[in-house]
């Protein structure tokens, strides 16, 4: 039931009632810090996989083999994410959104910190590689519900008419995490190579403890969302949200996966595969490992603004229309953009990264923030968002660097691999928008899915 009583404190009206502005701000901040930690880890690990982890942990495999093995550990984290999404999605729909957000940030943060303590191949043989895989799985399990929790939480707290704007605000944390990750890598990259591979590579992972402490402090002060409170009040919480989701929402789960292919896949292409491509394309970029990280810094600055802009535009013009624009933009620009990278002009590389990430990727991510939670009924929303996000994260995000590295090796590091990969993934999302229901203004208390 909608609460309409007004107090002296100005309240924000949501589908589940009214929320104090302080609670809305706290929910936004809690989600943002979690996103920052996840994507700080995401970009640090992606950059280190492309440039450092191979010789540190997989030395006996040679340069190409070590790179593929390094990217394989990157992909293992993504393989674990659907399992984390299902497990924590169940908890989020059964026991509340806040509980999950505390558990996931703890798991991700602990795993990231522990990576900074691992022994390398020279210190302990393959033990370090085995532990690295184990910690990546742990990271993946936690990350499997982190973004689903953030989008679900803020979408259930935000005012309906501005849900796109508010739901996209926490994803500024993604850009903050990118800035922190790429900036940290750029700074430590100034050090002597022997120092970097000796001990300095550990610092970015150990430093993540700061974000963990801040996130836990904020999240402990969160209240449960009005939507989940209403479900509990009217005894509408289901005992088996996973079963209910699979019974009623197969179509919308597939829609969610299809929508994410272009956004998540291109994010991985720009942040990991493109950087790896430039690092080994010696005839074009001879040994300069700074071009990619600096490009990510520039792109993240623009993306922090554009993700909110596209989220707000989806409130006005509709989620599907804005999403379709982002996917089509990436389809059209994929071939010329990656060709421009091969010309050896650093400024062009940075423009390609900034435009691709800030317009192509954010053009899909901005409307996606409210759209995925709006697709599902309130009883199994968390599980639905988590499963959609994380299956696509495996297919588009985790496998992109591994498969891409294999094709790059087989084609003599051809830029066409990047272009075709980007185009195909974006085309999948573009086509999916024609099967996606418009969800602007949806009642988040509704038990049924969007149709």
Q: Report the chain's terminal Cα–Cα distance, integer Å.
A: 23
Q: Tell me, what's the pLDDT at 48? A: 77
Tell me the pLDDT tens digit for each residue of 375-406.
999 999 999 999 999 889 888 877 777 788 78
- Max intra-chain CA distance, the chain: 69
Share of the chain above pLDDT 90, in %: 39
Tell me the pLDDT tens digit for each residue of 189-219.
777 777 777 788 888 888 888 878 888 888 8
> What are the residue boundaries of the structural domains of the chain, listed by start?
20-435
Q: Tell me, what's the pLDDT at 318? A: 97
Domain 20-435 has CATH 3.40.1260.10: no
Measured CA to CA in angstroms, residue 156 lies from 7, 150, 294, 315, 442 at distances of 21, 10, 36, 15, 11
Report the SS3 class of residue 119: coil
Tokens read off for 94:
């059964």
Measured CA to CA in angstroms, residue 268 lies from 51, 235, 243 at distances of 15, 41, 31
Binning pLDDT at 50, 70 and 90, where does residue 3 land?
very low
User: For residue 198, which of 70, 86, 55, 337 has the smallest C-alpha distance?
Assistant: 55
Confidence (pTM) = 0.82
- In sequence order, what are the residues at sequence separation of 6 or more whose Cβ sits closer than 8 angstroms to the Cβ of residue 40? 176, 177, 178, 180, 181, 208, 211
- In this structure, are residues 94 and 237 in contact, taking their beta carbons and an 8 Å threshold? yes
CB burial string 272-301: b at 16+ within 10 A, e below: bbbbbbbbbbeebbeeebebbbbbbbbbbe
Q: Tell me, what's the pLDDT at 354? A: 94
Tokens read off for 325:
């624009």
83-92, 214-223, 259-268, 411-420: least confidently modelled range: 214-223
- In this structure, are residues 66 and 59 in contact, taking their beta carbons and an 8 Å threshold? yes
51-60, 119-128, 146-155: least confidently modelled range: 51-60
């Amino acid at each position: 039931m909608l609460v309409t009583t007004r107090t002296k404190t100005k309240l924000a009206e949501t589908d589940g009632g009214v929320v104090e502005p302080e609670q809305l701000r706290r929910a936004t901040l809690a989600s943002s810090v979690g996103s920052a930690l996840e994507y700080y880890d995401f970009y640090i690990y992606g950059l280190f996989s492309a440039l450092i982890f191979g010789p540190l942990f997989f030395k006996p495999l040679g340069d190409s083999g070590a790179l593929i093995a390094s990217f394989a550990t990157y992909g293992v984290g993504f393989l674990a994410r659907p399992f984390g999404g299902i497990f924590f999605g169940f908890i989020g729909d059964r026991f509340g959104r806040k509980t999950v957000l505390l558990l996931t940030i703890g798991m991700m943060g602990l795993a990231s910190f522990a990576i900074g303590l691992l022994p390398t191949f020279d210190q302990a043989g393959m033990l370090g590689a085995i532990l690295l895989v184990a910690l990546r799985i742990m990271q993946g399990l936690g990350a499997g519900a982190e973004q689903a929790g953030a989008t679900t939480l803020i979408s259930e707290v935000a005012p309906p008419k501005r849900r796109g704007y508010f739901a996209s605000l926490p994803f500024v944390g993604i850009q903050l995490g990118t800035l922190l990750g790429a900036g940290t890598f750029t700074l430590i990259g100034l050090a002597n190579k022997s120092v970097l591979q000796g001990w300095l590579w550990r610092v970015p992972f150990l430093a993540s403890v700061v974000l963990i402490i801040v996130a836990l402090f904020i999240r402990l002060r969160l209240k449960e969302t009005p939507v989940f409170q209403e479900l509990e009040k009217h005894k509408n919480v289901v005992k088996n949200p996973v079963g209910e989701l699979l019974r009623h929402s197969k179509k919308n789960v597939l829609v969610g996966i299809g929508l994410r292919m272009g956004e998540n896949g291109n994010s991985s292409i720009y942040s990991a595969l493109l950087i790896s491509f430039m690092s080994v394309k010696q005839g074009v970029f001879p040994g300069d490992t700074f071009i990619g990280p600096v490009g990510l810094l520039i792109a993240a600055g623009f993306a922090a603004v554009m993700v909110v802009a596209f989220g707000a535009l989806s409130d006005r013009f509709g989620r599907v229309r804005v999403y379709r624009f982002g996917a089509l933009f990436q389809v059209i620009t994929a071939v010329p953009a990656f060709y421009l990278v091969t010309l050896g002009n650093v400024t062009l590389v940075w423009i390609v990264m900034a435009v691709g990430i800030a317009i192509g990727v954010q053009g899909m991510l901005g409307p996606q923030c409210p759209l995925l939670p709006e697709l599902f009924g309130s009883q199994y929303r968390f599980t639905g968002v988590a499963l959609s996000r994380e299956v696509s994260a495996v297919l588009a995000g985790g496998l992109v660097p591994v498969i891409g590295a294999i094709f790059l090796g087989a084609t003599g590091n051809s830029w066409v691999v990047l272009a075709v990969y980007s185009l195909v993934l974006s085309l999948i999302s573009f086509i999916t928008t024609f099967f996606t229901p418009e969800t602007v203004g949806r009642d988040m208390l509704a038990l049924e899915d969007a149709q």
